[in-house]
Amino acid sequence: MSPVTPPGRDLRLDLFRGLALWLIFLDQIPSNAVSWLTIRNYGLSDAPEIFVFISGYTAAFVYGREMDSRGVTVASARVLKRVWQIYVAHIFLFVVYMAEIAYVASSLDNPLYSEEAGILNFLKEPGVTMVQAMLLKFKPANMDVLPLYIVLLAGFPPVLWLLRRAPTLGLAASVALYAAAWMFDWDLPAYPKGTWVFNPFTWQLLFVTGAWCALGGAARIAPFARSRPVLWLAGGYLAIAFAIMLAWHLPHLASDLPRWLTDWVNPADKSNLDLLRFAHFVALAILTLRYIPRDWPLLTSPWMRPTIICGQHSLEIFCSGVFLAFAGHLAMVQLSDGLGMQILVSAVGIATMVGVAALITWYRNVEGKKHGPRQTPVVNADLAGGEA
């Protein structure tokens, strides 16, 4: 875990992306008591929001500089190369999923669960299933984030080009697409039924907002975002959202809530990134950036190191997380699913993610030294957000 801090790098991005990856992992372990830690239990937005926003930010930062130094065509080609890597990673995870399902199929014959066993039906027609998975239409549980990221990044080159020429126009176009998707119900189809869990036409708003912030937008709105009324507004909004979620999670309080207030937690709006959720994320970001400055001393302390290196290798760590969640579930089914086991699986999983991140960091450093300083810019680019 040697230091990997290129000068000028905003470690807050890595820190919070690492944190988001941990939370996404905890959420993916089924019936996990530890997932009570995740932020969606305390407000309207969730870890994927953080992940998508920071990914937009870093993608714009890295590929924007690439457009400066090597031109639009080369930078676009590099974006598409990254899309391909993520696609391959997604297919790899799908194979892991198939393996787990096939294994569980051999042991699921409890008469109580004859209906649930239907989820294994697609093993009977693997051809259709595989093709639908490759088309990103069949997405098993918990495998929705990477397809979203693939689509967002694939459409990113022209957006980046526009954002660099006319940032306000670029952001306006994104808002317009968001509004149109809500108005005309635009979405991508899924297999066997329904639509994408994360609708790319609406979720792009977070990604593009992140990119816009990276390309100077953050500096432009800083005086506004740091003004006292805005901070109070953000804090108040988070407090109200917290109170509502608290009531929602305590069944006997929930029935006493006024109906118009519970409308806020309407679960149907997650896949379309409801404005209330978007606003919640923005409020969270405003307060975080205000109270955790870029040169926050703790950012360079060894305590933050594990989270930061996870955020720096986000694609690998995301995939490890999905894999570990499957493995953890199998362990819980086979051995025990008590509270102790849930905590153990969560802790071992996060430790493994940190271990993988440390290994990659070490390997990149060794490789970087071998090639000499000439390669450094490319290594930096990858670290700062060529990563998913």
Give min distance, CB of 148 to other proteins, in A. Answer: 14
Q: Rule CB under 8 A: which of 162-191 touch other proteins?
A: 190
Give min distance, CB of 387 to other proteins, in A. Answer: 26
Q: Rule CB under 8 A: which of 25-84 touch other proteins?
A: 28-31, 33
Q: Of 371, 383, 253, 251, which is closest to residue 316 (Cα–Cα)?
A: 383
Give min distance, CB of 362 to other proteins, in A. Answer: 31
Q: Which of 68, 95, 102, 116 binds other proteins (CB under 8 A)?
A: 116
- Binding status of residue 125 toward other proteins by CB under 8 A: no
CA distance 274 to 268: 9
CA distance 351 to 335: 20
State residue 220 phi and psi, 5-degree precision: -70, -40
Nearer to other proteins, 266 or 300 (CB): 266
CA distance 319 to 337: 23
Maximum distance among all Cα pairs of the chain, rounded to whole angstroms: 66
Q: Which of 37, 72, 119, 225 binds other proteins (CB under 8 A)?
A: 119
Give the contact letters, 262-281, x = binds to other proteins (CB under 8 A), - = no.
xx-xxxx-xx----------
Applying CB under 8 A, the site for other proteins has a residue count of: 53
CA distance 274 to 3: 39
Nearer to other proteins, 194 or 293 (CB): 194
CA distance 162 to 119: 44
- HSE, CB side, 13 Å, CA atoms: give it for residue 201: 16
CA distance 300 to 198: 34
The first and second tokens of residue 132, run together, are: 């639908």
- Binding status of residue 219 toward other proteins by CB under 8 A: no
List residues near other proteins by CB under 8 A: 28-31, 33, 100-101, 104, 107-119, 139-142, 190, 192-195, 197, 251-252, 254-255, 257, 259, 262-263, 265-268, 270-271, 325-326, 329, 332-333, 337-339
